[in-house]
Amino acid sequence: MSLFQLEDIKKEFKHGSTKEQILKGINLELKRGELTALVGASGSGKSTLLTIAAGLQDLSSGSITFGGQNMSAMNAEGIREIRAKYFGFVFQHAHLVPFLTVREQLELMLDTAETKWSKKSRAARIEDALKTVDMWNHKDSYPESLSGGEKQRVAIARAIIHEPEILFADEPTASLDSKRSIEVMELIEKLARELNITVLMVTHDNDMLEYAERIVEMKDGKIIES
């Protein structure tokens, strides 16, 4: 079943009196629980498409529909509420707060979430998320003591702590060595398969494509293969 639809998405940037068209009419549907990889050369529009889909950047024209809701017709507050409740984000770098423990990183995320949980429920959610990414034994560790792969696992736990329906991942393995990259991709694949989370991932690493159920290739702001 389609969960997310992008229809005729266009994005232009103005440079003085000239316009640069970055996205040229993108149509894409994401199914629930599917792991989709966006690939293409630098400058093809992959990251722009991902940030627009995630509501982190405005589109120039087109429509975005999530769960039957027209996000492109919402104001900034409505989009923010959708992001906070239903979307999770993982980027190239973990961006952990250096003076917070692993457990506290997730507590901070729950503090900013739209839904409020009881103290008992919060503790259970944190434990479940950290066990899912195999980081429960590091719950009291600080980022400086973690490897790059472990930091990214914590970032993934932070992204799923509120049980999102879609995980947006922008080059999640780019800063990792091959072993850690495989570990992170196996984890992301597990989230899609076992937790039924829809994943849209940008990657330049062809070795990571074996984990994707679907590969969407972009070139010059257009989808050329999906």
Domain ranges for the chain? 33-56+81-225
Q: Which of 14, 31, 41, 6 is nearest to 221 (CA)?
A: 41
Per-range mean pLDDT, top range of 45-49, 106-110, 203-207:
45-49
- Give the strand pairing for 35-39 and 69-70: unpaired
pLDDT digit string (tens) for 104-157? 999 998 887 656 667 778 899 999 999 999 999 999 999 999 999 999 999 999
Mean of pLDDT values over 4-9: 96
Contact 4/167 with Cβ under 8 angstroms? no
Give whole-number Cα distances, 66 to 30, 53, 72, in Å.
10, 10, 10
Amino acid 115: pLDDT: 63
Residue type, 189: E
Amino acid 71: pLDDT: 93
Mean of pLDDT values over 72-85: 90
The proportion of the chain whose per-residue pLDDT surpasses 70, expressed as a percent, equals 97
Enumerate residues 6+ apart whose C-beta is below 8 A from 1.
31, 32
Per-range mean pLDDT, top range of 11-15, 150-154, 176-180:
150-154
CATH no., domain 33-56+81-225: 3.40.50.300
Is the model's pLDDT at 185 over the cut of 80? yes
Q: Which of 160, 98, 110 is nearest to 135 (CA)?
A: 160
Q: Indicate the pLDDT class of residue 22, thresholds 50, 70 and 90.
A: very high
Amino acid 114: pLDDT: 59
Q: pTM of the prediction?
A: 0.91
Crossing angle for the helix pair 102-112 and 148-160, nearest 10 degrees? Answer: 30
Amino acid 112: pLDDT: 75
